[in-house]
Amino acid sequence: MARFEVSQAIEETASPPAAVAQPRAALTRSLIGGLVTSLPVLVVGLLILNFAPTYYTYLALGAFVNLIVVVGLQVFMGNSNIANLGHSAFVGLGAYGVAILSTPLAMKKLSIPNAPFGFATLQLDPVSSALIALIMVGIVAAVSGKVISRLSGVAATIVSLALLIIVHSVFLNWTNLFKGNQAFFGIPKVVGLPWMMVFSVVVIVLARLFKDSRWGLQLRASAQSPQAAAALGIDARRLRLMSWVLSALICGLAGVLYAYFAGTISPKLFYFQMIFNTLAMLILGGMATVTGAVTGVIVLSVGLEFIRSIESGVTIAGIQLPQLLGLSGVALGVVIVLCMAFRPSGISGRYELDELLSRLFRRNAK
Amino acid sequence: MDYALQQLLNALAFGAEYSLVALGLAVVFSIMGLVNFAHGEIIGVSAYSVFLAAALGLTSPIVAVLLAVAAAALAAVAFERVAFRPVRYAPTTTGLLTAFGVSIVVQNLFMLLISPKPQSVSILNGLNQMWFFGPFAVSSLQVMELIVSGLTILALVLFLNRSTLGLAIRAASRDFATVRLMGIKANRVIATAFAISGALAGIAAVFIIARRGSVSPDLGFSLVLKAFVACVIGGFGSLAGAAAGGMLLGFIEVGLLVALPQEYGGFKDALTYVIIVALLVYRPEGLLGQRVELGDKEI
């Protein structure tokens, strides 16, 4: 089957006339495809917005942040087939970026009075803070991506981990700017569920457009067969860099949104726990497709919440169970291991939601 | 002079420990292309079995050392049997993510079954003393670390060069299919590689317990991250590269500790990784790795 996919991807790459003849039709198709994929997210979001109590709204906001992170992760991992274990560094950079730029001055006097470069006396509005934070994320991503895109798969993964450790260590130790281990509070809470939904849809569509674009297709082809792709003149390094930066920007956006809804952030939020969670979501859903990313987030968010309620000690039939710290971690790990052993392509396999639907209808029509 | 010598010994001891762990990773990777993120948890299993044995009344340090090595080797073989065999022929990324999953499961099992907090283990504290050589005071642990690592690496080299199974392991890292055609069982080669890798991790675990005097669920994780980095600088899959990379990492770390002022000490890890990433810009294939162009024939 792998060989079939290779030849299929290369055929698609090698036959530009069809793509050139109807670029607009292809664009419309993946645009609609992205919108169809984001439909379940919208439905869940609207239901929660209208009917759920506040506690669940808060949980849903967290899940939406995870959704954006996982989609961002998919942009790099799904297309280049290189495991990335450092993406939460970009989430952290985005969140701290807006925290430093947009926190009101009165708060800053309490939290980071000695910030360098005049940040202690600077306060920008949320939108321009977000833009500047994303530009910073983009710069860090471009520099790290330069290194990572040159390396082979395994070394690239290890360097992505090294990046995570570098960024985390800077958060912890540059106390004047990042407040170290303590929570950074007082960030304006300007994002609610509606904005979160808008950005989720935008990000899902963006990821889908990238996947279906020339670059996405070429990158997927080069991941499946480097030799064949190189023979067709595909510059895999440039494409890996491109998807790395896009992926980082999406993760950075997730960080910005997280900071703007939670109001308080701390470095440990953007460390291994986030990597574990989001990676398990992507793997369970299937990393080859954007649909997979969405599916994984929905399934695991619900599943994890259930497990967490057991973890904190529940009473079943009058018997009080003890606290079971670590249960959710075990569950996440088991999900990853079982998925890899029995269904490496995840729940959704290699078709997007709209492709599945259209196949289904076509079969029924026959 | 005293200070310089002390730092040199520090660097050698750190480097020796990284080399041991990195070699364990490289042995497995060179044969089956598995990036074993669960290597740290092999160290963890080894340390926790010493902790449990001590809690059950074990007092002899020698038995504890043997137990640590045996438990680690067994754990490594068990991980292979349970988790890595189903993904043996899968792409590298699949194996890597499986190992990552195993690592999460085992770390959380320690939390769930024992405790999320560090547990004290004093049985091996006797290894950590001060020895006086004339005017010099050195830590016995560091000297032992250096000697034991050296001997272990020597034993590994002898095993790989002189025994049939060792030869099979080296051959398997080049061309597994042909090794199997020669009548050598794949399962045996892989199980041996994992046992070696585990034993090396067990030796590292002994030194970790002796130095820290406690065990915690994430005990081996950060060490293994460093060992991975050592493998990457050395050239992934090359055994000599792993050993050399580990030593280099030890020297970079101690060099930074000496060079950085006290208040910037926290940036040691960050700077170490920055230096290494910078090295990789110039040699993406690692120091001792070979540049393989696409389409090159395996030699």
B78 touches chain A (CB under 8 A): no
B102 touches chain A (CB under 8 A): yes
Using alpha carbons, select from A272, A267, A111, A129 the residue that is nearest to residue A191.
Answer: A129
Chain B interface mutation, best of A77, A143, A150, A157, highest count of B Cβ atoms under 10 Å: A157
Max CA-CA distance within chain A? 71
Chain B interface mutation, best of A340, A342, A343, highest count of B Cβ atoms under 10 Å: A340
Q: What is the least distance, in Å, from the CA of A283 to any CA of chain B?
A: 9
For residues A147 and B281, the answer to whether their CB atoms sit within 8 Å is: yes
What's the confidence (pLDDT) of residue B290?
Answer: 65
Percent of chain B scoring above 90 in pLDDT = 24
Pairing mode, if any, of strands A319-320 and A315-316? antiparallel
- Residue bearing tokens 């000490």: B265
Mean per-residue pLDDT, B204-220: 87
Q: Which of A212-226, B211-225, B284-298 has the lowest mean pLDDT?
A: B284-298
Q: Name the amino acid, one letter, at A353.
A: L
Using alpha carbons, select from A238, A232, A230, A339 the residue that is nearest to residue A281.
Answer: A339
Q: Closest partner residue to B101 among A81, A85, A337, by Cβ?
A: A337
Angle (CA) A276 A281 A283, round 5°: 95
Task: Tell whether the model's pLDDT for residue B137 goes beyond 90.
Answer: no
Q: Closest partner residue to A340 among B101, B228, B277, by Cβ?
A: B101
Mean per-residue pLDDT, B102-128: 85
Is ipTM beyond 0.90?
A: no
Cβ B270–A157 below 8 Å, yes or no? Answer: no
- Long-range CB contacts (within 8 A, 24+) of B175-178: B175/B298, B176/B31, B176/B32
At A94 the three-state DSSP class reads helix
Exposed (0-12), middle (13-18) or buried (19+): which is A57, by Cβ within 10 Å?
A: middle
Q: Where are the domains of chain A?
A: 2-269
Q: What are phi and psi of B215, to 5 degrees?
A: -125, 145
B276 touches chain A (CB under 8 A): yes
Exposed (0-12), middle (13-18) or buried (19+): which is B25, by Cβ within 10 Å?
A: buried
**Separation of first and last alpha carbons in chain A:** 25
B281 touches chain A (CB under 8 A): yes
Task: Tell whether the model's pLDDT for residue B124 goes beyond 60.
Answer: yes
Query: Roughly what angle, to the nearest 10 degrees, separates helices B39-55 and B61-79?
Result: 140
* pLDDT string in tens for chain A (366-residue length): 444 444 444 444 444 444 444 677 888 888 888 888 888 888 888 888 888 787 788 888 888 999 999 999 999 998 998 888 889 999 999 999 988 888 877 777 777 777 777 676 777 788 888 899 999 999 999 999 988 888 877 788 888 988 998 899 888 888 777 887 888 888 888 888 888 889 999 999 999 999 989 899 999 999 888 888 888 888 888 999 999 999 999 999 999 999 998 888 888 888 888 888 888 889 888 888 888 888 889 888 888 888 888 777 666 666 666 677 778 888 888 888 888 888 888 888 778 888 888 888 887 766
**Distances in Å between the alpha carbon of B265 and those of A8, A170, B248, B259?**
53, 12, 19, 9
| Residues facing B131 on adjacent strands | B138
Q: What is the least distance, in Å, from the CA of A326 to any CA of chain B?
A: 5
Q: What is the least distance, in Å, from the CA of A278 to any CA of chain B?
A: 12
What's the confidence (pLDDT) of residue A1?
Answer: 40
